[in-house]
Chains A and B, each alone.
Chain A
Amino acid sequence: MGEVDVEVRVNGEVRRATVEPRVTLADFLRERCRLTGTHLGCEHGVCGACTVLLDGEAVRSCLVLAVQAQGADVTTIEGIAPADGELSTVQRAFRDCHGLQCGFCTPGFVVSVTAFLREHPQPDDREIREALSGNLCRCTGYQGILEAVRQAADQGVGA
């Protein structure tokens, strides 16, 4: 199978690789960039664990090919926290509200919520639930996650 050169800016850093066209963005990030915070829970676009920001939009990196991200800006969970090493408002809210247990789905939730609150800085509870419906969690029963999004919204993360 022929290989293709790709260049993607990942968390602000330019990453170049030669990959088969079929390699997913998720596998590119995990295996080529060694950014293993992006997790694969289903590889068919339902669970949301692999969510990353592609030019600011939340996408499922299992359904995007690395070559489709050519020239794009990608933000993974590793790039969500500010440079000072502190947690972001969303990350802190998840910690404060017990919004994670095993942590496997967590990167996808944090990235999805970060994008959602940018678009909807003052969501009501129904909008929050709708926004989370594309991410599956098996540990928390969503209780702490819902509280975390409320807290992050109230703290004005999207402002």
Chain B
Amino acid sequence: MSTTEARPYAGSRVHRVEDDRLLTGRGTYVDDVQLPGMLHACFVRSPFPRAAIRGIDIEAALAVPGVHHVFTAADLNPGVHEQWHTSVGPQSPETPRPPLADDEARFVGDPVALVVADSRYIAEDAAELVDVDYEPLTPVVDYETAIDNPELVHQAHGSNVIGSMAGRPPEKLADAFGGAAHVVAETIHQQAYAAVPMECRGIVVDHTPATGDVTVHAATQAPHEVRGFCARLLGIPEERVRVVMRDVGGGFGQKVVVQRDEMCIMLAGLQVAAPLKWVEDRRENLLAGGQARCEHAEAKIAFDADGAIRAAQIDYVSDCGAYPSPWPVTSSAAVGMLFPGPYRVPRATFSITNVYTNNVGRAPYRGPWQFESLAREVLLDIAAREMGVDPVDLRRRNLIRRDELPFTNPNGMPYDNISPIETFEQALGMLGYEAFRKEQASAREQGRHLGVGIANYVEPSTPGYGYYANESASIRVTPAGRVEVSVPGGSSGNSVETTVVQLTADELGLDIGDVDVVSGDTAVAGFGAGAAGSRSGSMTAGAVHDTAAILRAQILAVAARRLGGAPDDVELVRSRARLRDDPSVAVTLAEVAALAAEGGDDLEASATYTADNSIIWVNATHVCTCEVDVATGQVTLLRYIVSEDCGPMINPNVVEGQIAGGAVQGIGGVLYEHLAHDEDGNPITTTFMDYLLPTATEIPVIEYGHIETPSPGPGGYKGVGEGGAIGAPPAVVNAVADSLAPFGVKITRLPLTPAAIAGLLA
């Protein structure tokens, strides 16, 4: 990885352009938007997991001074014209989503009424006075028994099964499993946890009745998705809707889709004679922001006597709550299809089933299908112990090697441009695997329990189909000679502004200080699908490349006129156009801009990049070591190594930051985080005293290794946003299990709280 004179910025650790404003308190998050006369919304939410709504008395709430409206389903729900996400399309069998609960509340936190007042304080006061006549009904709490539960979450759906999908009939693999030297089979559970961005969800809807314009300020990862959704929801032309996202305080998937709460604010925004703001508090976010994970599978892998994998099968079920968004079957199918992972698995099949419960709905979260890696890698370690072989040897025996690529896995996933064995060997080398085994052995003699866990994965990034296939950019040279790039996405922690500036400066031969970026405003930028699917970096690279190529020709034509010669004789270096043969003959970009202004030349270009590849594959290896205190069940992580292949890096700081953030979310998911409810369906982790995020005291130093296999996409780049959260959970589980191997403990259920570990050892 090195920069070049011609492209000095891509690959270098340049300072982020986002940082100055964010470090000085000058960012603009949605709650920072203050508009004249703006009103504030607060939801009345169901305290019951399931209850019939017999009536709502709003009089006392309406009587509170400063209260403008109290909306119920009868007021808002008829305003719905259409409700579907562009990314999913109108044909998807989505769950019917009433903006406000009408006849029935279906989870604790279900929005039942909406109070609009002069301030959030007043709105909260009044919300407490809304008197809802609930008739509690028997909830469907346990997703594992929901399929056969006679109580139905959605009566009209006729079943608690949302959908299911399956690969080839399992009988076709009967001979592979029947004749195997060894079969490992376990049921593995992952608890509910969630994205939990530090900024909760929020939206401001500013409707101008005179023109019919609607401006939406949104905490979103995908402003164009919000725009299209809002226009369809309200039944107004899309060009009347402008969505602005300036700074977003993290999303991790939760802010990709428009949920029911935001729909309510859009609908109420048309009825309120003022801009309307809703910013949820943390309790609401943990109640109603959506759950992720909460799933289990029966998984099995068959081996030959020499440890070669013969076949793999996974039968997966997930809790999707009452209102999953979007339809969860597609991302669950990926659990099945990716279960073989980066291994030479000749035969496989899967089934997946998604069920409704009276829990909060499933929402997207970083690596939504990551259960495939958790199940596979945990199973491989259990198999290694059962077979009496080293888990490293078992993996090395089966990892796909470069000369086998392209390799289509038995479920049809066409892997290419990956390096599973290389990241694996690099990570083990960084650890010093043999030395660690010796250290572990001597520690055991002293009664200390160290362990090492390894996980490999291969991940589809940068989806290149449908809605996700396109990304636009516009670049212009201003008359003053600055270069302004407009892109559809915006800052949500992904450093996309810095990425754009680096790429543009390289494409056009500019000094990086001459480039400005305008982002996150649908009125300014063309279409793009936003930050999802680990796509921002690689798709933005395509958009900037294609657009810059047009603008470059325009700049060279103007410069050539001044310098003498043909455009081909001119090159752009560090914001100067100069003759290739005689670099002393040069003109600054500012002079080119002035010439263009004089001559009426156009120095502005827009283009949309359309992906050439339906998937860009990424792979990585996570290696973790830990010590377990067998008296208390406390896990201390010692070293954490990630070797990944995301192709060339645009900015190593950004890449490593994404990896670390994802890995720590995965660590949290194994050891600390649990979006829990009691047996009656009441959430019990609705504050940060109960929902435990990792802090600086628990987290090890993360060490990075990079392997660089270029993708076939623009710049050879790959997506790197989600992988950390995929690789970390199995690496941590395997490290804990390895620590406890002398006790014959088998870990198949998360989270690994001290109590859970103590329970395993009891």
Residues of A near any B CB (own CB < 8 A): 20, 22-23, 30-31, 34-44, 46-47, 49, 76-78, 80-81, 87, 91, 94-96, 98, 100-107, 110, 128-130, 132-146
> Which 8 A-B pairs have CB atoms at the shortest separation, nearest pair first?
A37-B25, A104-B249, A103-B22, A102-B493, A141-B664, A141-B660, A77-B25, A46-B688
Q: Is the CB of B199 within 8 A of A43?
A: no
Q: Is the CB of B656 within 8 A of A95?
A: no
Return chain B residues, CB-CB under 8 Å to A77: 23-25
Cross-interface CB contact of A132 among B16, B24, B654, B695, cutoff 8 Å: B695
Return chain A residues, CB-CB under 8 Å to B701: 143, 146
Return chain A residues, CB-CB under 8 Å to B259: none
B20 at the interface (CB under 8 A from A): yes
Cross-interface CB contact of A38 among B25, B197, B247, B281, cutoff 8 Å: B25
Return chain B residues, CB-CB under 8 Å to A135: 695-696
Interface positions of B from 279 to 324, Cβ below 8 Å from A: 281-282
Return chain A residues, CB-CB under 8 Å to B196: 138
Q: Is the CB of A138 within 8 A of B693?
A: yes
Would you mind naming 17 contact pairs between A and B with Cβ atoms under 8 Å apart? A36-B31, A36-B32, A39-B198, A41-B200, A42-B282, A91-B24, A94-B23, A98-B656, A102-B197, A102-B491, A138-B198, A139-B250, A140-B661, A141-B657, A141-B660, A142-B660, A142-B664
Q: Is the CB of A98 within 8 A of B653?
A: yes
A101 and B197 CA atoms in complex are apart in Å by: 12
Contact with A along B28-39 (1 / 0, CB 8 A): 110110100000
Task: Indicate whether A95 sits within 8 Å of B31 (C-beta atoms), given known contacts A46-B688, A102-B247, A143-B702.
Answer: no
Return chain B residues, CB-CB under 8 Å to A38: 25
- Write the nearest CB–CB distance from A75 to chain B, whole angstroms: 11
- Write the nearest CB–CB distance from A31 to chain B, whole angstroms: 8
Contact with A along B198-226 (1 / 0, CB 8 A): 11100000000000000000000000000
Extra contacts, 7 of them, besides A101-B494, A145-B696 (Cβ < 8 A), are A34-B34, A39-B249, A41-B200, A98-B653, A103-B493, A141-B661, A142-B699
Q: Is the CB of A133 within 8 A of B663?
A: no
Return chain A residues, CB-CB under 8 Å to B711: none
**Interface of B, helix, strand, loop or mixed by DSSP:** loop
Cross-interface CB contact of A138 among B31, B197, B282, cutoff 8 Å: B197
A100 and B15 CA atoms in complex are apart in Å by: 11
A6 and B694 CA atoms in complex are apart in Å by: 38
Interface positions of B from 1 to 44, Cβ below 8 Å from A: 13, 15-16, 18-20, 22-29, 31-32, 34
- Write the nearest CB–CB distance from A82 to chain B, whole angstroms: 11
B343 at the interface (CB under 8 A from A): no
Task: Indicate whether A100 sits within 8 Å of B24 (C-beta atoms), given known contacts A44-B688, A139-B250.
Answer: no
A138 and B669 CA atoms in complex are apart in Å by: 12
- Write the nearest CB–CB distance from B367 to chain A, whole angstroms: 15
Interface positions of B from 646 to 682, Cβ below 8 Å from A: 653-654, 656-657, 660-665
A35 and B23 CA atoms in complex are apart in Å by: 14
Q: Which has the most chain A C-beta neighbours within 10 Å: B24, B29, B663?
A: B24
Contact with A along B536-554 (1 / 0, CB 8 A): 0000000000000000000
A84 and B117 CA atoms in complex are apart in Å by: 41
Return chain B residues, CB-CB under 8 Å to A37: 24-27
**Number of B residues with CB within 8 Å of any CB on chain A:** 57
Return chain B residues, CB-CB under 8 Å to A87: 20, 23-24
Q: Is the CB of A101 within 8 A of B495?
A: yes
Q: Is the CB of A106 within 8 A of B23?
A: yes
B492 at the interface (CB under 8 A from A): yes
Return chain A residues, CB-CB under 8 Å to B465: none
B147 at the interface (CB under 8 A from A): no
B697 at the interface (CB under 8 A from A): yes
- Write the nearest CB–CB distance from B9 to chain A, whole angstroms: 16
Q: Is the CB of A104 within 8 A of B198?
A: yes
Cross-interface CB contact of B688 among A106, A136, A139, cutoff 8 Å: A136
Cross-interface CB contact of A46 among B27, B687, B696, cutoff 8 Å: B687
- Write the nearest CB–CB distance from A37 to chain B, whole angstroms: 2
Return chain A residues, CB-CB under 8 Å to B699: 141-143
Q: Chain A residue with minimal CB distance to B702?
A: A143
Q: Which has the most chain A C-beta neighbours within 10 Å: B23, B661, B694?
A: B23
Q: Is the CB of A35 within 8 A of B25?
A: yes
B510 at the interface (CB under 8 A from A): no
A106 and B22 CA atoms in complex are apart in Å by: 7
Q: Is the CB of B16 within 8 A of A95?
A: yes
Q: Chain B residue with minimal CB distance to A132?
A: B696
Return chain A residues, CB-CB under 8 Å to B197: 102, 104, 138
A3 and B493 CA atoms in complex are apart in Å by: 39
Cross-interface CB contact of A143 among B121, B660, B689, cutoff 8 Å: B660
- Write the nearest CB–CB distance from B540 to chain A, whole angstroms: 16
Q: Which has the most chain B C-beta neighbours within 10 Å: A80, A91, A104, A130?
A: A104
B48 at the interface (CB under 8 A from A): no
Q: Which has the most chain B C-beta neighbours within 10 Å: A40, A91, A98?
A: A98
A49 and B29 CA atoms in complex are apart in Å by: 13
Return chain B residues, CB-CB under 8 Å to A100: 19, 22-23
Task: Indicate whether A41 sits within 8 Å of B25 (C-beta atoms), given known contacts A101-B493, A141-B660, A142-B664.
Answer: no
Q: Which has the most chain B C-beta neighbours within 10 Å: A40, A103, A146?
A: A103
Cross-interface CB contact of A39 among B24, B199, B248, B491, cutoff 8 Å: B199
A20 and B66 CA atoms in complex are apart in Å by: 14
B143 at the interface (CB under 8 A from A): no
Q: Is the CB of B24 within 8 A of A103?
A: no
Task: Indicate whether A104 sits within 8 Å of B199 (C-beta atoms), given known contacts A95-B16, A132-B696, A138-B665.
Answer: yes
Q: Which has the most chain A C-beta neighbours within 10 Å: B249, B493, B656, B662?
A: B249
Return chain B residues, CB-CB under 8 Å to A107: 25
A130 and B698 CA atoms in complex are apart in Å by: 10
A44 and B492 CA atoms in complex are apart in Å by: 24
A147 and B665 CA atoms in complex are apart in Å by: 19
Task: Indicate whether A43 sits within 8 Å of B282 (C-beta atoms), given known contacts A77-B24, A129-B697, A138-B197.
Answer: yes
- Write the nearest CB–CB distance from B704 to chain A, whole angstroms: 9
Q: Is the CB of B198 within 8 A of A49?
A: yes
Task: Indicate whether A143 sits within 8 Å of B198 (C-beta atoms), given known contacts A35-B25, A44-B689.
Answer: no
Task: Indicate whether A102 sits within 8 Å of B696 (C-beta atoms), given known contacts A40-B31, A87-B23.
Answer: no
Return chain B residues, CB-CB under 8 Å to A134: 695
Task: Indicate whether A138 sits within 8 Å of B661 (C-beta atoms), given known contacts A39-B199, A102-B250, A129-B696.
Answer: yes
B415 at the interface (CB under 8 A from A): no
Q: Which has the most chain B C-beta neighbours within 10 Å: A23, A30, A136?
A: A136
A35 and B27 CA atoms in complex are apart in Å by: 11
- Write the nearest CB–CB distance from A144 to chain B, whole angstroms: 6
Q: Is the CB of A144 within 8 A of B657?
A: yes
- Write the nearest CB–CB distance from A26 to chain B, whole angstroms: 11
Return chain B residues, CB-CB under 8 Å to A141: 657, 660-665, 694, 699, 702, 724
Return chain B residues, CB-CB under 8 Å to A39: 29, 31, 198-199, 249
- Write the nearest CB–CB distance from A108 to chain B, whole angstroms: 9
- Write the nearest CB–CB distance from B7 to chain A, whole angstroms: 21
